[in-house]
């Protein structure tokens, strides 16, 4: 029995509604189960193809035999695509993966047995016996301000983890969190790179003014997988890569493969440094999967030759070469100059910046004298012994 045009339209609308709802549910499930990059788009394509086939069938636009052939061909393409994806993933997973764990900060904790925190060979001229300033800061700078604590604070167990109970005078919560705690008044001094524009605005909104006291100098470094033939970039090439106009390693003397340029989360010290390097150039928005949420993550992703041998990462020299070093990454020269303490001191390495002890209006009476000691010969000696370059 032949259907009327009205009934065909009604059936088409109902069928499309069912396909749309089912496809949306499947898309959401694929997104939240790790299939965002492949299976979610495949589901959308399959739903669209099924919708077209359903309308064609309801309106009987082609012969039944031809419709079945088209359906079989479309289903075959979808299945082959899924099979090809799974085979590729199985091959990738069969390769060796290099990964670096998060840094164990306990090895740098002050007053711990066999601590790696630097120490003076004499008793410091300055000591704090009460009302010790509450410290916080960047992961890469924890070994340094831990050495300061070990030099001038009373012996005690100083927790670096905010979630642990006990003495919280020398925490390490990362740059972005440390700035939040400083502005809120939960820390007296933080050790970090210069604040981002957003962090400066947050301080002003809270009625605080961030005061930066230079502590030392450090190189901002870029690194690649050790198997990448590229040994260096120019400062302009770095800007072009992170601006999105230079996209292939072949353009800088490497292989014919795309550059996977990692970034850090907004507010981190290294991401703020990248933004400053870019200047007025617009920083490209990376795909979500290309943003590493911890500094060790960006190193392990670049070091991994299972999946990311075309990666480009960045960090600070001390962190990348000592705190979380990996034999699988290679630091790049910039403008023909390798990052080192010598090139930092001479100013030859172009991406060099100061890091700071940052305060924001705390009333702790020991802050001024403590900062003065940090900039003294003894404090700067600890900067040198830790592995950074002194400002004086």
Residue 195 has pLDDT above 80, yes or no: yes
Does CATH place domain 103-392 in 3.40.190.10? Answer: yes
The whole-chain average pLDDT of the chain stands at 86
Residue 304 has pLDDT above 60, yes or no: no
- Average pLDDT of the residues in 68-92: 85
Specify whether the CB–CB gap between 286 and 308 falls below 8 A.
Answer: no
Work out the pLDDT band at 263, boundaries 50, 70, 90.
confident
- Name the percent of the chain lying above pLDDT 90: 51
- Average pLDDT of the residues in 340-357: 92
Neighbours of 102 (CB within 10 A): 12
pLDDT at position 154: 96
Distance CA 344, CA 340 (A): 6
Residue 178 has pLDDT above 60, yes or no: yes
Work out the pLDDT band at 306, boundaries 50, 70, 90.
very low
pLDDT at position 303: 54
More confident of the two residues 103 and 353: 353
Of the ranges 194-198, 338-342, 379-383, 387-391, which is most confident?
379-383
Q: What is the DSSP string of 77-144?
A: HHHHHHHHHHHHHHHHHHS-----PPP-GGGG-TT-TT--S---SS--S----SSPPPEEE-GGGHHH
Distance CA 45, CA 30 (A): 13
pLDDT at position 298: 62
CA distances from 220 to 83, 182, 270, 325, 327 (A): 43, 24, 8, 15, 19
**30-34, 154-158, 322-326 — which is least confidently predicted?**
322-326
Distance CA 96, CA 39 (A): 25
Work out the pLDDT band at 11, boundaries 50, 70, 90.
confident
**25-39, 87-101, 208-222 — which is least confidently predicted?**
87-101
**90-99, 126-135, 329-338 — which is least confidently predicted?**
90-99
Residue 7 has pLDDT above 60, yes or no: yes
Residue 1 has pLDDT above 70, yes or no: no
pLDDT at position 104: 83
More confident of the two residues 236 and 291: 236
Sequence spans of domains, the chain? 5-94, 103-392
Q: What is the DSSP string of 166-190?
A: SB-SB----HHHHHHHHHHTS-SEE
pLDDT at position 307: 44
- Name the percent of the chain lying above pLDDT 70: 88
């Amino acid at each position: 029995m032949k259907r009327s045009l009205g009934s065909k339209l009604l059936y088409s609308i109902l069928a499309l509604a069912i396909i749309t709802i089912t496809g949306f549910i499947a898309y959401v499930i694929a997104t939240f189960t790790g299939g965002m990059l492949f299976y979610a788009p495949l589901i959308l394509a399959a739903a669209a193809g099924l919708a077209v086939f359903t309308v064609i069938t309801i309106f009987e636009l082609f012969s039944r035999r031809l419709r079945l052939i088209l359906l079989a061909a479309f289903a075959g393409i979808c299945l082959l695509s899924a099979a090809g994806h799974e085979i590729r993933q199985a091959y990738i997973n069969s390769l060796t993966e290099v990964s670096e764990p998060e840094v164990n900060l306990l090895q740098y904790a002050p007053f711990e047995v066999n601590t790696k925190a630097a120490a003076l060979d004499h008793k410091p001229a300055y000591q704090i016996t009460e009302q010790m300033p509450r410290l916080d800061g960047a992961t890469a700078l924890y070994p340094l301000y831990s050495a300061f604590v070990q030099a001038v604070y009373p012996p005690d167990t100083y927790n670096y983890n905010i979630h642990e109970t006990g003495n919280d005078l020398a925490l390490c919560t990362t740059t972005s969190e440390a700035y939040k705690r400083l502005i809120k008044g939960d820390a007296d001094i933080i050790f970090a790179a210069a604040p981002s524009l957003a962090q400066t605005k947050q301080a002003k909104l809270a009625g605080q003014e961030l005061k930066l006291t230079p502590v030392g100098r450090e190189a901002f470094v870029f690194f690649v997988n050790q198997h990448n033939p590229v040994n260096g970039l120019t400062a302009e090439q770095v800007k072009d890569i992170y601006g999105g106009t230079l996209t292939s390693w072949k353009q800088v003397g490497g292989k014919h493969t795309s550059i996977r340029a990692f970034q850090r989360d907004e507010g981190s010290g290294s991401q703020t440094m990248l933004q400053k390097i870019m200047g007025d150039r617009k920083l490209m928005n990376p795909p979500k999967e290309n943003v590493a949420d911890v500094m060790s993550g960006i190193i392990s992703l670049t070091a991994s030759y299972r999946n990311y041998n075309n990666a480009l990462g960045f960090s600070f020299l001390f962190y990348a070469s000592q705190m979380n070093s990996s034999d699988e990454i290679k630091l790049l020269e910039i403008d023909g100059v390798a990052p080192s303490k010598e090139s930092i001191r001479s100013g030859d390495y172009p991406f060099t910046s100061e890091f700071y002890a940052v305060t924001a209006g705390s009333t702790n009476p020991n802050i001024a004298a403590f900062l003065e000691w940090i900039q003294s010969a003894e404090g700067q000696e600890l900067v040198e012994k830790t592995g950074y370059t002194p400002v004086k």
